[in-house]
Structure 1
Amino acid sequence: MRLPDLEAWAIFASVVEHKSFSAAADAIGLSKATVSKAITRLEAHLGQSLFHRTSRRLALTEAGKPLAEHAARILTEARLAEESANDAASAPTGRVRLAAPMSFGVKNVAPLLAEFLAAHPGIEVDLHLSDARVDIVAEGFDIALRIAELPDSSLRARRLCTIRTHIVAAPRYLEANGTPTHPAQLGEHKLFGYSNVVGPWRFHGPGGAEVSVRVHGPLTANSGEAIMPALVAGLGIARLPDFIIETCLASGALTTILCDWAPAPIGLHLLTPPSPLRPARVEALIEFLTRRLRDPLPA
């Protein structure tokens, strides 16, 4: 049986990552001719082109796009195997790429990293804050924190804790529009959508009652912070987590409503790529975040 050309697959992954033959050659310490020959060799073996080549642009073919994902996994697995062997003989070192939601990352993750970095001076953390849902594998993240109910996927996930959410509005909005006493009445109001929480708002109420409410209104955003100015201005009602609204609740700028109806809880999850192989530096940060974020977060 012919063995796969693992070198060519790894070079293919590097070309995709760096978006050019020259940049890939520089990154992996090979000549451009060697990189080009490896791609030609792989294309000949597969019987199909992997790239559209022009003098100014290099783009994956339709056949090359799914194969690029396989190539990235091959390269990642090889790197992880080497790093695991090296880690066994020394303290964890190197960079860990961590993705987290913007507001949660600033308020709950960033303060923890000082403690982690002090305990692991050989590790660097590249923290990426965004409320957009990142593609962990394609964008090269080692760990992602995500506040959502997760669809089935090949990613490895562990639920760390439950994030409490509340239905809130400014007192001036309630004075002008009335205060809902049942979730069904929310359909008569302007609701702000937080797109990190997909689907209708689901409530559990007295006697085990369950109600779902479709969200419609003048503003939807993938950042809870972006909703806050319109919310405080009295333009609608929103469902938001503790860590975004706590200051406005304390000052009276916002108030909670429907307190007898609990919104369905949202999980804080830690996600990693599918491979069970991870460098010691990544395992160290996973263990730290799991331990520090496992308990319910303070309101």
Structure 2
Amino acid sequence: MIDHLRAMAIFQSVAELGSFRKAAQRLKLSPSVVSHHIAQLEEHLGLPLLYRSTRRMSLTDAGVDLLAASQRMSAAAQEGLDAINRRIAQPVGKLSITTNASMAHRPFSDLYAGFARAYPKVQLSIHITDETLPLEGSEYDVAIRGRVTDLDDSSYKIRKLRSLEFCIFASPDYVRGRPPLNDIDDLADWDRIAYPAIPWASIASTAEGKGPSRTPRSLLSCDNYAMARTFVEDGLGFMIETYPLVAKDIQAGRLVQLLPKVRLRPVDVFAVYPANSTRDSLARVFVDYLLSQQWA
């Protein structure tokens, strides 16, 4: 396998430069060694990769496909090396991030602590709000958002971090004595603690796209996750949030997951940052760090 990867890298140089001689010079190999690797690769694949003549060289269809795959391989390898080099170099500076209130709680808040430990010379400034702040002309380098419908793709780059499952939960005291739930519409007879302030039909849609036909009463509504959780824990009603925020409490019996077999439509979490951020910018360092973590 390693020999094949080396041969692919040599083939990529030949294809990009259009010459065995130029590829040999770039790779500091003799032209005969370059030719040998290409021949071995063609023999292994059982297909010609290059059309050769005394005047020109061109790629076969198989060569075009292999070049694209090799370029993706090289880009991934370079990104990995850059990530290690950035860790060694220990970047310095201030990084401003805006994110929503629920992302400020564990396990999500552990991401920021982990980044701070990995890059101790970077000064993190984290702004918590459930308002969608305009990034154009703002002080923020990165925004962590659960939706990106209002962004200008020409100004900002969007990287999907994870998809998160929603979970319906309540306290054991609130659930005790109530009739069992069979489907999402049975919650119409229960009390909802409305956080975030998203219409019930939107947040309670299933992964298959089926929406509820009945709406529960919103006993309380607030724009702060911690306060909403307090209302739930006090037995005032049920709530919907992403599962990682409540997993440990459900497993410990402090909260009860309602309708565990109903899979709600997940939310995609994105990192948003300026499109012109360079590979070694603090924004890219932070986003690459998030992508490397198994946090969901």
TM-score of the superposed pair, with normalisation by structure 1: 0.58
Measured in 2, the distance between the counterparts of 1:169 and 1:121 equals 39
The match for 2:65 is: none
Deviation at 1:253, TM superposition (A): 2.6
| Alpha-carbon distance in 2 for matches of 1:91, 1:144 | 22
Alignment length, in residue pairs? Answer: 203
In the alignment, the residues of structure 2 paired with residue 149 and residue 179 of structure 1 have an alpha-carbon distance, to the nearest angstrom, of: 33
Matched residue, 1:186: 187
Q: Which amino acid aligns with 1:257?
A: L
Match of 1:153 among 151, 154, 160: 151
Map of 1:128 onto structure 2: 127
Q: Distance in 2 between matches of 1:149 and 1:284?
A: 22
Q: Could you say what secondary structure the match of 2:286 adopts?
A: helix
User: Which string of whole-angstrom CA distances, capped at 9 and with x for unpartnered residues, describes residues 14-34 of structure 1?
Assistant: xxxxxxxxxxxxxxxxxxxxx
Q: How does 1:1-299 map to 2 (within 5 A)?
A: 92-146=91-145, 148-154=146-152, 155-195=156-196, 197=198, 200=201, 201-204=203-206, 210-212=210-212, 214=215, 216-273=217-274, 275-278=275-278, 280-292=281-293, 295=294, 297=296
| 8 A contact 2:195–2:240 mirrored in 1 | yes
**3-state SS in 1 of match to 2:218:** coil
Shift of 1:113: 3.9
> Residue 22 of structure 2 aligns with which residue?
none
Measure, in 1, the Cα distance between the counterparts of 2:108 and 2:126: 9
What's the secondary structure of 1:218's corresponding residue?
strand
Amino acid at match of 1:129: I
How far off its partner does 1:136 sit? Answer: 2.6
Aligned-pair identity (%): 16
Q: Which amino acid letter does the alignment assign opposite residue 143 of structure 1?
A: V
1:22-68 Cα shifts (integer Å, max 9, x gaps) = xxxxxxxxxxxxxxxxxxxxxxxxxxxxxxxxxxxxxxxxxxxxxxx
When residues 225 and 179 of structure 1 are mapped into structure 2, their CA distance, relative to the original with a 3 A threshold, is farther
Question: Amino acid of the residue matched to residue 172 of structure 1?
Answer: D
Question: Retained in 2: the 8 A contact 1:104–1:243?
Answer: no
The answer as to whether partners of 2:107 and 2:245 remain within 8 angstroms in 1 is no
How many Å separate the matches in 2 of 1:198 and 1:296?
A: 28
For residue 107 of structure 1, give the secondary structure of its aligned residue in structure 2: coil
The 3 A distance-change label for structure 1 pair 286 and 219 is same
- The 1-side partners of 2:256 and 2:99 are apart by 27
Give the structure with higher Rg (CA). 2
Q: Given residue 186 of structure 1, which amino acid in structure 2 is its aligned partner?
A: L
**Contact 1:132/1:222 (CA < 8 Å) preserved in 2?**
no
- Structure 1 contact 163–296 (Cα < 8 Å) conserved: no
Render the CA deviation track for 1:165-204: whole Å, top value 9, x for unaligned: 2111222222344232111122222112122655523343
Measure how far apart 1:220 and its partner are: 1.6
**Unaligned stretches of 5+ in structure 1?**
1-86
The residue matched to 1:263 in structure 2 has which SS? coil
Aligned residues: CA RMSD: 3.0
Return the offset for 1:285.
1.5
Measured after TM superposition, the shift of residue 153 of structure 1 is: 1.9
Question: CA–CA distance in 1 between the matches of 2:277 and 2:126?
Answer: 21
CA deviations 1:209-266 (Å, max 9, x no partner) are 8233545411122232211122122221211222332343133232112122111111
SS of residue in 1 equivalent to 2:204: strand
Unaligned runs of 5+ in 2: 1-85
Shift in Å, 1:142: 0.4
Q: Deviations over 1:127-163 (max 9, x none)?
A: 22334433333431000112x2332421432221111
Where 2:257 maps in the other structure, the secondary structure is strand
- Residue aligned with 2:96, SS: strand
Question: SS state of the match for residue 173, structure 2?
Answer: helix
| Aligned twin of 1:51 | none
Question: In the alignment, residue 287 of structure 2 is paired with which amino acid?
Answer: I
Which secondary structure state, in structure 1, belongs to the residue aligned with residue 251 of structure 2? helix
